Structure formats: structure tokens, C-alpha cells
């Protein structure tokens, strides 16, 4: 079991308050959505939760099986896919997956070849990432995040560059997660349809 506690969390850039006084608790097995209009701070909050960015105020507590996890170590327990995340374009798809899974274990019962097949990328396994379409790159990012063994899955605008078939594929994969803590940052309802709870960043702006 994994738990993330946000305690009076706040973030500002220069004089602009992005959000403040945010208290929230995320639990394993929960599907959460962070919403709000473009530029509202969804991605910023997701990066703070991931430990990649520091808050301006407040604290985040990470707990696994009643044991505190230090913020510097939380990356070991999560996977993330974002539009601004870069892939190593000089590698082929298979080389990229092989490199990734030297550091992270694949979800139980899945091999690299099976994951590539599930992502509908088997015909491109020997193709260089730099030659992928934007949709193929997005499926690659999502496959790496969703098929790595992790306690926490963070997705920022997961439907970016996906066509209708790609969105159905994404939705099917999301419903297959049952024990992980899943947080999706998006202002597109189809990307977080069926979530358990919604956090609107605008509710935590300065009044």
C-alpha cells in the first residue's frame, strides 16, 4: 500500500500564486484526476507530486506499508508519462525498451516483446524512435509507464497525439490497473473518465 499526503501545499512563480493551501490524500488503488484550464497548474502539481519539482510552501509525505519514503527516493516507486518527456531518439524501439527494463522491472507476466505487441508497435520494433510519428511516440511513453512495475503511475495529458483507436487502447490499459495509485492531469474528460476523485486546481487559487 502506498499513500501520498499533501499538507498545505502551495506553489508560486515570482509573484504569481499557482495554487495554495492544498490538503489531499492519495491512496493505492485509487484513480485520481487533476483538472483545470490550460495554464492552471495541473502539470506543475503533478511534477511536485512526482518529486521532480519542489513546492513553495507545505509538505508532501510518502508512505509505503506504514514506512516513510524520502522524497529523494520516491522515483523508485513511480512511473510517469508526459508530453514534455523526451525519448532517446537514437535508439530503436526494442533497444529503448531493453534499456528501460534494465533499470525497472516489467509488470508481472509481460515480456518486452509482449508489451511492444500490446502497444501495436511490433512492426516498428527495429525502427529508430526519431522516425516515429507523434502518436507512436505517445504509445511508447504510455507503454513504458503502464507496463513498468510501480506503486504510482502519473500521466500528464495521456491522450496527446492519440487517434480514436489510440484513445480506446489507452482507456483499456487504464482499466487494467487495480492496485497502483493512478493520477491523471488533464482537462479532457475522456482521459480520466471513470476516475474516483477529481481535484480542480482552480479551487486552490488565491481568493
What pLDDT does 207 receive?
55
Give the residue-averaged pLDDT of 33-38: 95
Query: What confidence score (pLDDT) does residue 154 get?
Result: 98
pLDDT score recorded for residue 130: 97
pLDDT per position as a tens digit, 143-186: 999 999 999 999 999 999 999 999 999 999 998 887 899 999 99
pTM, two decimals, is: 0.94
Per DSSP (E only), the strands in 14-137 are 16-27, 31-35, 57-64, 67-69, 78-81
Alpha-helical regions (H) of 35-149? 42-50, 93-100, 112-118, 134-146
pLDDT value, residue 109: 87
Q: What domains can you pick out in the chain, each with its CATH number?
A: 2-204 (3.40.50.300)
pLDDT for the residue 120: 96
Q: pLDDT at position 76, please? A: 94
Average pLDDT value for the chain = 95
Contacts 24+ apart (CB under 8 A), 199-202: 199/24, 199/32, 199/33, 199/34, 199/35, 200/35, 200/36, 201/18, 201/19, 201/34, 201/35, 201/36, 201/40, 201/41, 201/42, 201/45, 202/36, 202/37, 202/40
Helix (H, G, I), strand (E, B) or coil at 101: coil
First to last CA, the chain: 36
- The pLDDT confidence band at residue 27, using thresholds 50, 70 and 90, is very high
pLDDT of residue 67 exceeding 60: yes
Model confidence at 66, pLDDT cuts 50, 70, 90, reads: very high
Displacement of CA 14 from its chain's centroid (Å) = 27
Amino acid at each position: 500500500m502506498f499513500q501520498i499526503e499533501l499538507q498545505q501545499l502551495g506553489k508560486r512563480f515570482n509573484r504569481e500564486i499557482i495554487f495554495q493551501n492544498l490538503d489531499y490524500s492519495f491512496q493505492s488503488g485509487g484513480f485520481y484526476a487533476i483538472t483545470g484550464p490550460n495554464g492552471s497548474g495541473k502539470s506543475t502539481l503533478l511534477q511536485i507530486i512526482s518529486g521532480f519539482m519542489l513546492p513553495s510552501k507545505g509538505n508532501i509525505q510518502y508512505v509505503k506499508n506504514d514506512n516513510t519514503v524520502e522524497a529523494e527516493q520516491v522515483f523508485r516507486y513511480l512511473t510517469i508519462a508526459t508530453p514534455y518527456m523526451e525519448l532517446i531518439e537514437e535508439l530503436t524501439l526494442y533497444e529503448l525498451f531493453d534499456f528501460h527494463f534494465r533499470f525497472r522491472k516489467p509488470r508481472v507476466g509481460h515480456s518486452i516483446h509482449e508489451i511492444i505487441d500490446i502497444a501495436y508497435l511490433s512492426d516498428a520494433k527495429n525502427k529508430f524512435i526519431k522516425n516515429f510519428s507523434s502518436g507512436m511516440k505517445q504509445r511508447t511513453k504510455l507503454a513504458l509507464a503502464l507496463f513498468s512495475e510501480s506503486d504510482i503511475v502519473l500521466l500528464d495529458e495521456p491522450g496527446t497525439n492519440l487517434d480514436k483507436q489510440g484513445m480506446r487502447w489507452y482507456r483499456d490499459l487504464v482499466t487494467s490497473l487495480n492496485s497502483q495509485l493512478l493520477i491523471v492531469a488533464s482537462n479532457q474528460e475522456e482521459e480520466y473518465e471513470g476516475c474516483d476523485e477529481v481535484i480542480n486546481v482552480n479551487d486552490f487559487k488565491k481568493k
